[in-house]
Chains A and B, each alone.
Chain A
Amino acid sequence: DAKTTQPTSMDCAEGRAANLPCNHSTISGNEYVYWYRQIHSQGPQYIIHGLKNNETNEMASLIITEDRKSSTLILPHATLRDTAVYYCIAAIYNDYKLSFGAGTTVTVRA
């Protein structure tokens, strides 16, 4: 699976949009970009995934650059409950083994 690079940590203001970047410059054509988050002492929670088109669901939006070398997860209105470690993962769709890196520790502040 392609390696992803994320900032170690970031702070966000409550009520504002949170933009989480992820670099995956070696991603292959059959690898999707998945985003999960893990709130302290819980199992990871699925957020969103995409191949090359931008995606949106009730939790977030995923913007993937045209060359697919990077992406941004957008939480439109961050709340204190969004404080978590966010993982960006590149994985082959049918293989579906998720390789978790260190992720980005996101702290939403009031």
Chain B
Amino acid sequence: GAVVSQHPSWVICKSGTSVKIECRSLDFQATTMFWYRQFPKQSLMLMATSNEGSKATYEQGVEKDKFLINHASLTLSTLTVTSAHPEDSSFYICSARATSGGRETQYFGPGTRLLVL
């Protein structure tokens, strides 16, 4: 299957700082990527849809000014958590759409664990 990477795999930061998370499709191009968030013992929640060359689409309740998404190329999307606070501590996971053999599938990255102190 297609490979999606995330960097960093984990990050610890002070409250008030901004953190950037990268999501890359390594062996395919992705016009659409997705960002999810997962709190402990909970399921994944879709935050936003990232479209290459255009603005991201945010889910209801997700602040676009706090979670900045940039999809500058067909293989890279970035999520910046601005002015992070302890309640932003979570597991952030990206995914990318890929078409293989005429079938479309969504592949996920390994996730980035964020801890805000």
Contact = CB atoms under 8 A, between A and B. Distances in A.
Contact of B108 (A41, A43, A101): A43
Interface stretch (A11-19, A21-29, A44-52, A74-82): A44-52
Given A46-B105, A49-B105, A97 B46 contact: yes
A97 B105 contact: no
Contacts of A49: 103, 105
Majority secondary structure of chain B interface residues (helix, strand, loop or mixed): strand
Contacts of A46: 1, 105-108
A38 B91 CA distance: 13
Contacts, number: 50
Contacts of B32: 96
Nearest to A49: B105
A96 B110 contact: no
Contacts of B105: 46, 49
A95 B6 CA distance: 24
A39 to B, nearest CB: 10
A9 interface: no
B111 to A, nearest CB: 5
Given A38-B44, A43-B6, A98-B46, 6 more contacts: A44-B108, A46-B107, A97-B46, A97-B49, A98-B34, A102-B43
